[in-house]
Structure formats: C-alpha cells, structure tokens
Amino acid sequence: MRVAFYSPLKPPDHPVPSGDRRIARLLMTAIKNAGHHVTIASRLRTLDRQGDRQNQEMIKRRGMALANRYILRHAENPPDLWFTYHLYHKAPDWLGPAISQAFSIPYVVAEASVAPKQAGGPWAMGHETVCTALHRARRVLVLNPDDIECLAPIVAEPSRLFSVPPFIDTKPPRHAAAARETHRRRLAERFRLDRNKVWIAVTAMMRSGDKLDSYRVLGKTAHRLRDLPLVWLVAGDGPERATVEAMLDGTQVVYLGASDRADVDALHAAADIAVWPAIREAFGMALLEAQAAGLPIVAGASPGVAQIVENEITGLLTPSSDDTMLAEAVRRLIQAPELRREMSARAMQKAEQVHDLVAATQHIDRLLRTAQEEQAS
C-alpha cells in the first residue's frame, strides 16, 4: 500500500527535535515496517499560535492550493491511503480530507484532539475544520485516552475510534540497561559522581509553557529532598535553561545538555529512578523510554501517563502539580531499594509487551488494511 503521510503541526523531518517529531517518525517507521511505502505528502505547517484570523485564512488558502496541486500532480498515480498525524484547532488539516475525497481513498488520522470551547473562539475555523476531517475519517487512532470523550461525538461512527498505546523501539534502551554498570561508571567518571548515591534521571526540553511549569514543580520537589543522598541528572536544553537552573539552585544537579537517543538511553540505564511532574503531558515519550530501560517512574498522574506508568506496579503516580506528594513518592522509592528493583523489572517487561514498535506495527497495519477494505466495499 502507498501511504501519503502528513503532519500539519510539524513535519517528521523538521530540524528542531520534539516529541511531536519523534512520534511522527515512529508512526512512519511502523507503517514502513508493515511493508507499506510511505512518503511525506507535504511539509506545510498550519500552526497558528496567536488565534489570528487573517493568518488562518492565509494558511487555509495555501493549504487548499497545495491540495489542488497535489491532486493534479498525482492524478495518474494516487496514493492508496492518506494518513494525518496530530491535528487540532491550532493546526488543522487542510489537505487530507480534500485529497482523499478526490481520489476516493481512506483518510486516517492519529492523535487528533477536539476542544469544544474553541467552537466560538479565535480558532473557530480550525476547530470546525478538525471536526469535518474527523467525521470523514475511516480510522481515528487515539494515543491519549484523554481525547476520547470529545472525539466520540464527532466521528461518523464510534467504531472508527481505536486506541493505540504509545510505542517506541524498546531494543536500544533494553540493550543499554544490560550495560548498566558501564554506563554508570562512565557518567561517574565524567561528572565526578558518587556511585553510592541515588541517581534521578530527568529528561525534558527547557521551554516555556507546560515544560517550564513541570520544572517549577520539580524544583520545589528537589528542595524538599535535599536531606537525602541523591543527585539529579537532567538531560535537556532550551531557551529557559537559566530559569530552570535558578529553580534547581541549591540542590545537587548535573546538567547533561541536549542529548541524542544513545545518550538518553545511557542516562536511563545508569540512573535509579526517573522523575517528571508531567503537567498537561499527553503521555511523555521520555517516561516510556525510561521504563523500557528498567527505571521505576515517579510522575504526575495524567490519563496519558497512567497508560504508561502503572501505579504501584511500575512506578508511583501523584497529582501533577503537588510537589509535596511528588517528593514523598520519590523519598519512598529512595528508601526502598527492593521495591525499586521489583518495579524496574516490571517496568521493562511492560514496555516490551505493551509499548514496543513490533506490536504497534502489527496493530496499525491491521487498521490501515481494514480501512482500505471498507473504502473499497
């Protein structure tokens, strides 16, 4: 099957790393691994952050023009299916519905979200466009269970909604975990760390908004734990680094800076616990990567995070904004090494069994093939 892939928020080959780009790439990999031919259909970004109606109109015109151009260019050899990842009111899909209708091919979306309060707001145009797209979609893949309540009334049939657990290739973090002592020794030598202390991994970009709000809670949490023999290992960078450093001032912190996948896997392999408040976090890819490396997690309890971290089984969940409870959960794990070991084994097992790329590939392949079969019938 030839699949046209589109991400209106940020294309999969965008130069700036992000969770959105990572998930888009993973979805493309899953589709390719299922034996399909995948191409990036367009790199048009439809994101309007300010609620500027004129800007939205301009993006709409450009999107419709690109859709018409795509239809003309591929009239002799159209794709078999259109796949759009992450559409919402600030970044609607102006291409997929028109192109899929023109070619009579299935229109499939993943991680769409609907905010009913936007129906009359500054992004009303985007909201309406997303609702129209969802109504036409043959399959709606839901990665965040928080989205289901608002999606269900919009799609043409509830049976077109399918939950897909967040996924990664769990092999690299598992392989890194197998070399834990090597990674721990190297980090200890590089940063002169005490290997007898508890190492806590934090992996997140340093930018304004939800990330900075989480770092603010993390800073308060770290200060509550200053009496314990621990060190915070923070992987990530960004425009708010100075603010983050100020929040964590007075605690033992090592800043690893921007880190690639191998460095993050090495960090998770070497650490003892992963911690993140996860304020308004959809699910948190870094938490999934940490769990795949066998780290017990302490995190904020959003529905998305809760499908990755099983409370009292693979980690501990607390209210996202409550630094007191977050600190108490971290303290509990620091003082219970046997519980950490048990959670470590269960975390790695859950990641491999539920959140691995292989299982996701098979699941997504079935969804795409049945969508094509329904379209043809």
The reported pLDDT for the residue numbered 249 is 96
Q: How far apart are CA 288 and CA 66, in angstroms?
A: 36
Q: What is the DSSP letter of 235?
A: E
pTM for this predicted structure: 0.91
For residue 120, the model assigns a pLDDT of 87
Tokens found for residue 246: 């100020």
State the pLDDT at residue 283. Answer: 77
Among residues 288, 230, 244, the alpha carbon closest in space to that of 23 is found at 288
Q: Are residues 233 and 113 in the same domain?
A: no
Q: Could you tell me if 162 and 210 lie in one domain?
A: no
Q: Specify the pLDDT at position 332.
A: 97
CATH of the domain at 155: 3.40.50.2000
Residues 6+ apart with CB under 8 A from 216: 247
Angstrom CA distances, 359 to 350, 352, 366, stand at 12, 9, 11
CB neighbours of residue 213 within 10 Å: 15
Question: Residue 89 corresponds to which tokens in the numbers above?
Answer: 């009111």
Domain that holds residue 285: 171-354
Token look-up 């048990």 returns: 342
**What stretches in the chain show pLDDT beneath 70?**
none
Per-residue HEC secondary structure of 347-363 comes to HHHHHHHHCEHHHHHHH
Mapping DSSP onto H, E and C, the string for 156-201 reads: CCHHHEEECCCCECCHHHHHHHHCHHHHHHHHHHHHCCCCCCEEEE
Shared domain for 178 and 294, answered yes or no, is yes
Verify that 214 and 124 share a domain, yes or no.
no
| Domain match, 152 and 180 both | no
Total count of domains within the chain: 2
What per-residue confidence (pLDDT) applies to 272?
A: 98
Q: What's the pLDDT at 377?
A: 84
The answer on 70 and 9 residing in a single domain is yes
Same domain as 265, residue 290: yes
**Dist. CA 105–CA 77, nearest whole Å:** 12
